[in-house]
Amino acid sequence: MLPVGDINYQPGVDPLVNIPIYFWSQTPSRFTALVPILDVVVYVNLTPTFTWSYGDGGFEVSRFAGSPYPIGPITHTYKKAGSYLVNLKITWTGTWSVNGVTTPINGNAITQSISTNLDVVSAQARFIQ
C-alpha cells in the first residue's frame, strides 16, 4: 500500500571518482490513506525519513528525497573506483486516526529498503599539445 521506493542517480552512466553524484528517490514527501477495517475507517498520515548508505562507509539521513543536478541536496563523492552497493532505507512515521482520535505511530516499524549497484570509474588522463 505504501509508495514503491526507488533509487535514482546522476550521472546515470559511468559516474567518476572525485566528482559528486546526485542521488534521489521519487518517493513522495507525504503519504495519506483511508483504510477500512471491518466497519471502521482508519486515516493514516505518514512522512518519510531517508537514510542513504553509499557502500563505502558514507551515509546521510534526510527528510528530503533529493533531486537531480543542479539543485539536488543529496550528493556523494567516491574516492576510489569500484562497484558499490547503494542502499536507501525509508522510515515512515506519522499518525493514525479513528473517530476523531489521533494517535502517533511509534518506533520504526514501517520501513522500506531498496538497493542498487553503482559502478564508479576513473577518468582517463589525456594530454593534448
In a domain? residue 105: yes
Is the CB of residue 89 less than 8 Å from the CB of residue 111? yes
In a domain? residue 125: no
CATH of the domain at 24: 2.60.40
What are the residues whose beta carbons fall under 8 Å from the beta carbon of 127, sequence distance 6 or more?
A: none
In a domain? residue 26: yes
Amino acid code (one letter) for 21: I
State which residues form the domain around 90.
8-120
In a domain? residue 1: no
Residue 92: its pLDDT value, please?
Answer: 93
In a domain? residue 73: yes
Residue-level pLDDT, tens digit, the chain, 129 residues? 788 889 999 999 999 999 999 999 999 999 999 989 888 999 999 999 999 999 999 999 999 999 999 999 999 999 999 999 999 999 999 999 999 899 998 777 789 999 999 999 998 777 787
Residue 125: its pLDDT value, please?
Answer: 74
Residue 127: its pLDDT value, please?
Answer: 75
Amino acid code (one letter) for 65: A
In a domain? residue 127: no
In a domain? residue 113: yes
Q: In total, how many domains does the chain have?
A: 1
What is the distance between the alpha carbons of residues 30 and 3, in angstroms, rounded to a whole number?
10
**DSSP states along 8-70:** EEES-SSPBTTS-EEEE----S-EEEEEEETTEEEEEEEEEEEEEE-SSS-EEEESS-B-STT
In a domain? residue 129: no
Cis (ω within 30 of 0) for the bond into 11?
A: yes
Residue 96: its pLDDT value, please?
Answer: 92
